[in-house]
Every structure is written in structure tokens, then in C-alpha cells.
């Protein structure tokens, strides 16, 4: 699997021209050009998507911490935060694709969280079979989200989105394992990497939308 750096480099072409990420053969200079030439609306959309996806990472982490600590009340509160964030992410696409698409994305994001939660529960319960099923469900859900987004927007190639989501799922899995093991140093690195990756994902989505709807940017 590619590193976050290579995925970010591949995404540069998406950010610039909405072409398939496999065509990427440029470096940081193009990313800088994209930043400086972006409209104020596009920059605001990137920032909003980054914040939403970072919010997802932070909200899920709170659930994991509460579950491991055995704090049911905190876990319930944290889960409400995950749901609210998923609604916000889904609603961010409604101005472009309509409410039905927003509702569909929310359902898919709920499936993503459900698989993460299943992996968490299985890990706490030391259920290897449950972990395996949850991992398979995460992969299946990533495929569903990638299919949905690529079908809605030709500037979001399925393979690119799928890989971004698979890396994201891997971060969730690593973080759960590290928090259970009380390996705070490793978990801090994983969470930092996850937040950087959320920025990449947010940029790809925002710029894919901008490429599809240039009149709105």
C-alpha cells in the first residue's frame, strides 16, 4: 500500500484538473500553484472539508477511549458526536448533489462507523473472528463509498477514493490496537498521521467538486 505522501502526491492532479490520480507525475510545486490559484470559495470549501473529516477522526477516537475505559456514559456521548459529524459531512455535499445524495452518504458513513465500532468491540472482547469480520466490513464499506462518490463525480476516480479510505480504515485499526495496548507514543503518531490524511481526503473531495462545478467556484 502506498504511503500517505505518495497518495497526497497522486491527489495533486485531482486538485488541479480533476484527472485520474494515476496520471500524477508532478510534485510539491504543483500543489503550491494549486493553493495560490484557488478561488476564495474553493479554499473555504477545502478548509471546511478538512475540519469535518478531522472532526470524524477526533470523534471516533473519543468513542474508542471511552469504550476501553469502560465508561458507558462517555461512550454514548461520544457516539452522538460521531453521528452529528457524519450528518455534517453528508450535508456538505447537498448543495451540489441534493438531499437524497446527502442521505445516502450519511448511510454509508454510518456503515463505516458501524464497522469501526464492531472492530473496537471485538478487540476489547479479544474476539479474533469479530475483528476479521469487521475488517472485511470496513473494506466493503470503503468500496461502497468509493463507488458512490465516483459515480456522482467523474473527477473522483474510484481507485483513488478507495485507497484513501483503506488507509483511513487502517489508521482506525492501528489506533484501536495501540490504545488498548496503552502504547501512547505509537498512538500519538497514528492520530497525527490520521489528521494529515483527513486533510488529503478533504482536499480531494473539495477539489473534485470544484472541478465538476466550476461555475460555483
> Per-10-residue mean pLDDT for the chain, 217 residues long?
42 40 39 61 96 98 98 98 98 97 98 98 98 98 98 97 98 98 98 98 97 95
Question: Cα 145 to the chain's mean position, in Å?
Answer: 10
Q: What is the CA radius of gyration of the chain?
A: 17
Read off the pTM. Answer: 0.84
Within a 13 Å sphere around the CA of 36, how many CA atoms are in the beta-carbon half? 6
Residue 35 pLDDT: 54
Residue 107 pLDDT: 98
Residue 38 pLDDT: 74
* Helix (H), strand (E) counts: the chain: 9, 0
Residue 36 pLDDT: 54
**Residue matched to cell numbers 468509493:** 146
CA distances from 116 to 110, 134, 137, 214 (A): 10, 7, 9, 35
Element (H, E) at 129: helix 128-152
Q: Are 145 and 152 in contact (CB under 8 A)?
A: no
DSSP state of 217: -
Amino acid at each position: 500500500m502506498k504511503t500517505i505522501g505518495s497518495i497526497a502526491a497522486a491527489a495533486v492532479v485531482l486538485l488541479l484538473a480533476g484527472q485520474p490520480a494515476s496520471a500524477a507525475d508532478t510534485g510539491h510545486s504543483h500543489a503550491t500553484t494549486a493553493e495560490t490559484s484557488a478561488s476564495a470559495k474553493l479554499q473555504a470549501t477545502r478548509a471546511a472539508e478538512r475540519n469535518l473529516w478531522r472532526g470524524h477522526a477526533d470523534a471516533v477516537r473519543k468513542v474508542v477511549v471511552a469504550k476501553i475505559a469502560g465508561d458507558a456514559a462517555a461512550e454514548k456521548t461520544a457516539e452522538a458526536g460521531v453521528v452529528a459529524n457524519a450528518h455534517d459531512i453528508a450535508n456538505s455535499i447537498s448543495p451540489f448533489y441534493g438531499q437524497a445524495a446527502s442521505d445516502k452518504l450519511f448511510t454509508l458513513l454510518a456503515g463505516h462507523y458501524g464497522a469501526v465500532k464492531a472492530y473496537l468491540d471485538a478487540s476489547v472482547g479479544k474476539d479474533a473472528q469479530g475483528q476479521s469480520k469487521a475488517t472485511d466490513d470496513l473494506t466493503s464499506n470503503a468500496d461502497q463509498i468509493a463507488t458512490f462518490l465516483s459515480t456522482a463525480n467523474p473527477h473522483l476516480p474510484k481507485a483513488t477514493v478507495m485507497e484513501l479510505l483503506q488507509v483511513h480504515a487502517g489508521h482506525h485499526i492501528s489506533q484501536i490496537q495501540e490504545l488498548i495496548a496503552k502504547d501512547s507514543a505509537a498512538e500519538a503518531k497514528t492520530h497525527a498521521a490520521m489528521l494529515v490524511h483527513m486533510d488529503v481526503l478533504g482536499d480531494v473531495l473539495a477539489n473534485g467538486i470544484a472541478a465538476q462545478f466550476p461555475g460555483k467556484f
